[in-house]
Amino acid sequence: MSGLIGGPLPRTCRLVMRYSSKKTLRVVEDGHVFVHRVKNDYILSELVEKNWYTLPRLVQYVRIADENGVETTIYNFHGLWHKEGKGDIPARIEQAKKIRELLDATKGRKILCGDFNLDIRNESLTTIEGSMRNLIKEFGIQTTRSKTHYSKIDRMPYADYTLVSSDIEVQNFSVPNLSISDHLPMILEFV
């Protein structure tokens, strides 16, 4: 038997975890940190032109603890979008540095996942990774994009990533080809 725990994270993100009924999990803390601009800081004329890179970006997080007090911080990140593609630009490099600082300041087990809007070869992605394991690379995932919803899959097969700290014991990681969005779901099983 298993259960679900949901967390009231800001915006439209919701964390849902499946866990063994033999485990007790509690939410220690949740919140968000801006990594590009700040709340309500955008350029309206740019939005009219669909230049979404002017929108603020944040990292949402929840810190959970198991029955032994072992804490894990899970971050969700929707990275800076730019009309020119997923390459490095100064704003993305700065965003990556802020995320790396956030991860470095967090003690204990960490998981960072989401739509980073980055190419797999970017300096920005390397900065965010630091010493964390990139499960997209480690598991040889060929794409995180849905062929039926995304026409540029041959040129830009990646946008989404899951990174874990070395103390996360990964039992399984998969990116099933479920055509429900232009992004494929990432499923991480860990202890």
Domains of the chain as residue ranges with CATH? 2-190 (3.60.10.10)
Q: Rounded distance, CA 179 to CA 168, Å? A: 29
Instruction: With a cut of 60, say whether residue 14 has pLDDT above it.
Output: no
- pLDDT score, position 150: 60
- Write down the pTM of the prediction: 0.82
With H, G, I as helix, E, B as strand and everything else as coil, classify residue 46. Answer: helix
Give the percent of the chain with pLDDT over 90. 47
Give residue 162's pLDDT band: very low, low, confident or very high (50, 70, 90).
very high
| 141 in Cβ contact with 175 (< 8 Å) | yes
Instruction: With a cut of 60, say whether residue 2 has pLDDT above it.
Output: no
Which is higher by pLDDT, 7 or 54? 54
Q: Rounded distance, CA 174 to CA 19, Å? A: 17
| 34 in Cβ contact with 56 (< 8 Å) | yes
| 120 in Cβ contact with 135 (< 8 Å) | no
Read off the pLDDT of each residue in 146-174 and give the average, rounded to a whole number: 82
CA separation, residue 120 to residues 62, 135, 142, 182, 191 (Å):
26, 12, 11, 17, 27
Instruction: With a cut of 60, say whether residue 62 has pLDDT above it.
Output: yes
- pLDDT score, position 8: 44
What residues does 7 pair with on adjacent strands?
A: 15
Q: Parallel, antiparallel, or unpaired: how do β-strands 109-115 and 26-36 relate?
A: unpaired
- pLDDT score, position 146: 74
Question: What count of Cα atoms within 13 Å lies in the side-chain half-sphere of residue 96?
Answer: 20
Q: Which residue, chain included where needed, has tokens 């309500």?
A: 40
Q: What is the mean pLDDT of the chain?
A: 82
Give residue 168's pLDDT band: very low, low, confident or very high (50, 70, 90).
very high
